[in-house]
Chains A and B, each alone.
Chain A
Amino acid sequence: DAGITQSPRHKVTETGTPVTLRCHQTENHRYMYWYRQDPGHGLRLIHYSYGVKDTDKGEVSDGYSVSRSKTEDFLLTLESATSSQTSVYFCAIIGTNNEQFFGPGTRLTVL
Chain B
Amino acid sequence: RKEVEQDPGPFNVPEGATVAFNCTYSNSASQSFFWYRQDCRKEPKLLMSVYSSGNEDGRFTAQLNRASQYISLLIRDSKLSDSATYLCVVTIAGGADGLTFGKGTHLIIQP
Shortest CB distance A68–B (Å): 15
Cα(A31)–Cα(B31), bound, Å: 18
**Which A residue's beta carbon lies closest to that of B8?**
A40
Taking A41-B103, A42-B104 as contacts, is the C-beta distance between A98 and B43 under 8 angstroms?
no
Q: Which residues of B contact A99 (CB under 8 A)?
A: 32, 34, 46, 49
For chain A, which range describes its interface: under 10, 10 to 19, 20 to 34, or 35 or more residues?
A: 20 to 34
Interface centre among B32, B42, B46 (most CB of A within 10 A): B46
The answer to whether B98 touches A33 (Cβ under 8 A) is yes
Taking a contact as CB atoms closer than 8 A, the residue among B43, B97, B101, B103 that contacts A103 in the complex is B43
Decide if the interface of chain A is mainly helix, strand, loop or mixed. strand
Shortest CB distance A43–B (Å): 4
Taking a contact as CB atoms closer than 8 A, the residue among B32, B42, B97 that contacts A97 in the complex is B32
The reply on B96 being an interface residue by CB < 8 A is yes
Q: Which residues of B contact A31 (CB under 8 A)?
A: 96
Q: Which residues of A contact B43 (CB under 8 A)?
A: 90, 102-105
Cα(A87)–Cα(B31), bound, Å: 29
Instruction: Please list the residues of chain A having a beta carbon within 8 angstroms of any beta carbon in chain B.
Output: 31, 33, 35, 40-45, 48, 50, 56, 58-59, 90, 94, 97-105
29 example contacts (A-B, Cβ-Cβ < 8 A) are as follows A31-B96, A33-B98, A35-B98, A41-B103, A43-B44, A43-B87, A43-B99, A43-B101, A45-B98, A48-B96, A48-B97, A48-B98, A58-B97, A58-B98, A59-B98, A94-B96, A97-B49, A98-B31, A98-B32, A98-B91, A98-B96, A99-B32, A99-B34, A99-B46, A99-B49, A100-B95, A100-B99, A102-B43, A105-B43
Give the 5 A-B residue pairs with the shortest CB-CB distance, closest first: A98-B95, A45-B98, A102-B43, A42-B103, A43-B101
